[in-house]
Structure 1
């Protein structure tokens, strides 16, 4: 399914294949010989999404761009089933395994691997050919690769990265943080009410 969102329509190369149950919304460009499988959602929420050539986006993957953080995915990259990319730049020949999570402002260098259920956190930069092990967390700049059982170290780095401030423009110490966050984000998402299905 393809949707016009905020006046922008997807541009899909004629040699790309998009499954009938995938959702492509807004300012999305998909390159030659790319494949988008069933249940994938690629949604440009005010920022552009550019997917290169020979990219595979597998079942139920989510790719979301924001006004502040567009998405770029380089050529010959594989986005695994149930992977999530939000506002990140992904290089060429990158492998994002099943269940990986890539957050806003992250940059992943060419030929890197983010293995099953691993996380690349907010504004974290991976050099070329970096490997994030299964279920580990890449966090900070310079990057630290940490196993999930080192929560206190991960949390310390996350606090410096300021997720609510960077993504939602809200101070973490706001007394009614979730009230303000959900109301603000809800107003932004409500812009989909005016979307127009194209196919």
Structure 2
């Protein structure tokens, strides 16, 4: 399904294949020989998304850009089932396994592997060839790789990452943080009410 969003329509190379149940919305460019499979969502919510050549987006993956954080995915990259990329740059020949998560402002270098259910936290920079093991968390620039049992180290990195401030523009110390966050984000998402289906 193709949607115009904020006046922008997807551009899909004629050699690309997009499943009829995939959703492609807004300022999205899908390059030659790409494959976007059933249930995948590629949505440009204010910022552009560019998929290079021969990118494969597996079933039920999510790729989302914002005005502050566009998405660029390099050639010959595979985005696994249920993986998500939110406002990040992903290099060429990258493997994002099933359930991998890459957050806003992150960059994943060429030939990296982010294995099953691993996380690349926001504003994290993975150098070329880095492997994030199954379920681990990459955080910082330069990236530190932390196992899921390192709760204290992961928790200590959270204020420095400032997820609510960076992504939603709300100070973490705001007493009604979730009220402010959901109201602001809800207003932004309401722009989808004007989307127009193209196919």
By the TM > 0.5 criterion, same fold?
yes
In structure 2, what is the Cα distance between the partners aligned to 1:69 and 1:120? Answer: 15
In structure 1, what is the Cα distance between the partners aligned to 2:21 and 2:135? Answer: 29
Alpha-carbon deviations, 1:147-190, whole Å to 9, x = none? 01101101111210110110011110100000000000000000
In structure 1, what is the Cα distance between the partners aligned to 2:19 and 2:159? Answer: 39
- The equivalent of 1:91 in structure 2 is 91
- The equivalent of 1:133 in structure 2 is 133
Structure 2 counterparts to residues 1-150 of structure 1, below 5 A: 1-150=1-150
In structure 2, what is the Cα distance between the partners aligned to 1:183 and 1:22? Answer: 28
Structure 1 unmatched runs, 5+: none
In structure 1, what is the Cα distance between the partners aligned to 2:143 and 2:29? Answer: 30
Residues 139, 158 of structure 1: 8 Å contact kept: no
Query: What TM-score does the superposition give when structure 1 sets the normalisation length?
Result: 0.99
In structure 1, what is the Cα distance between the partners aligned to 2:159 and 2:149? Answer: 17
Structure 2 unmatched runs, 5+: none
Q: CA deviation at 1:31?
A: 0.4
SS of alignment partner, residue 135 of structure 1: coil
Alpha-carbon deviations, 1:110-159, whole Å to 9, x = none? 00000000000010000000000000000011211000110110111121
SS of alignment partner, residue 166 of structure 2: helix
Query: What TM-score does the superposition give when structure 2 sets the normalisation length?
Result: 0.99
